[in-house]
Amino acid sequence: MIPTSYPDSTEMARLTARMLLEIKAVHFNAAEPFTLASGLPSPTYIDCRKLISYPRIRATLMDFLTVTVMREAGFEAFDNIAGGETAGIPFAAMVAERMALPMTYVRKKPKGYGRNARIEGEMTEGQRVLLVEDLTTDGGSKISFVDAIRETGATCAHTAVIFYYGIFPQTEKTLGDHGVSLHSLCTWWDVLAEAKAQKAFDADTLSEVEAFLNAPKEWQDARKKS
């Protein structure tokens, strides 16, 4: 279980960004941009999966995430915590432990044999399910997981992530139109602010990252391969 007193959301965002920078989960490279799953270039990349290897940091962030969800959604709002395959699974387990609730996970697609299930674990009709993931960009993958949860007869009106890109304005609308509220600890803006404060990257790199965050589509359009 978790303590009842925690910092406000602004301070939790700053500390989350600091921890992500400390374990080098944050990567900025404007000269040789990363290629995202969409195929588009980006000067930023974040690897939240690294958190599972740092016990003190992962424990603190899971406390933060649990408190954030309870503050924003309610203290008795859920009956089941579901992790999205694969990155969300360990974080869902840790949140479920803190909230003393059953834990399940959702496959990206049916496994193709046996029960051919997408839901692993016990999820029953009428349960109120919280979907936990490591991060979200545009919210698209969350919709598929939410639909799989709802197919069981359970409800899913909330998803919680450690990191939310916070630069694509349609994300919260996409989720909201699907009846899902998003809860997160920090965004690229929080990471950029902390990176500037720490002088974690050179000034030119930080400037280019800021340009991307202010106009991601324009930045990508100017650099994507034909």
End-to-end CA distance of the chain: 52
The count of domains in the chain is 1
**For residue 115, what pLDDT is reported?**
65
**For residue 38, what pLDDT is reported?**
72
What is the separation of C-alpha 121 from the centre of its chain, rounded to a whole number of angstroms? 22
Average pLDDT (71-98) is 97
Domain interval for residue 85: 11-217
**For residue 94, what pLDDT is reported?**
97
* Residue 151 within any structural domain of the chain: yes
**For residue 3, what pLDDT is reported?**
60
Provide, rounded to the nearest whole percent, the portion of the chain with pLDDT above 70: 95
* Residue 44 within any structural domain of the chain: yes
* pLDDT tens track for 190-224: 999 999 999 999 999 999 999 999 999 999 998 87
What is the rounded (10 degree) CA torsion for 151, 159, 162, 77? -120
* Residue 175 within any structural domain of the chain: yes
Instruction: Give me 7's structure tokens.
Output: 């910092």
Confidence of residue 42 (pLDDT cuts 50, 70, 90): very high
Neighbours of 160 (CB within 10 A): 26
**For residue 224, what pLDDT is reported?**
74
* Residue 5 within any structural domain of the chain: no
**For residue 4, what pLDDT is reported?**
65
* pLDDT tens track for 137-156: 888 889 999 999 999 999 99
* Residue 186 within any structural domain of the chain: yes
**For residue 1, what pLDDT is reported?**
61
Confidence of residue 175 (pLDDT cuts 50, 70, 90): very high
CATH of the domain at 77: 3.40.50.2020
pLDDT surpasses 60 at 124? yes
Work out the mean pLDDT of the chain and round it to a whole number. Answer: 93
* Residue 131 within any structural domain of the chain: yes
* Residue 223 within any structural domain of the chain: no
Residue among 97, 99, 82 at smallest CA distance from 148? 82
**For residue 110, what pLDDT is reported?**
82
* Residue 226 within any structural domain of the chain: no
In the numeric block, the tokens 């790199």 are attached to: 205
**For residue 150, what pLDDT is reported?**
97
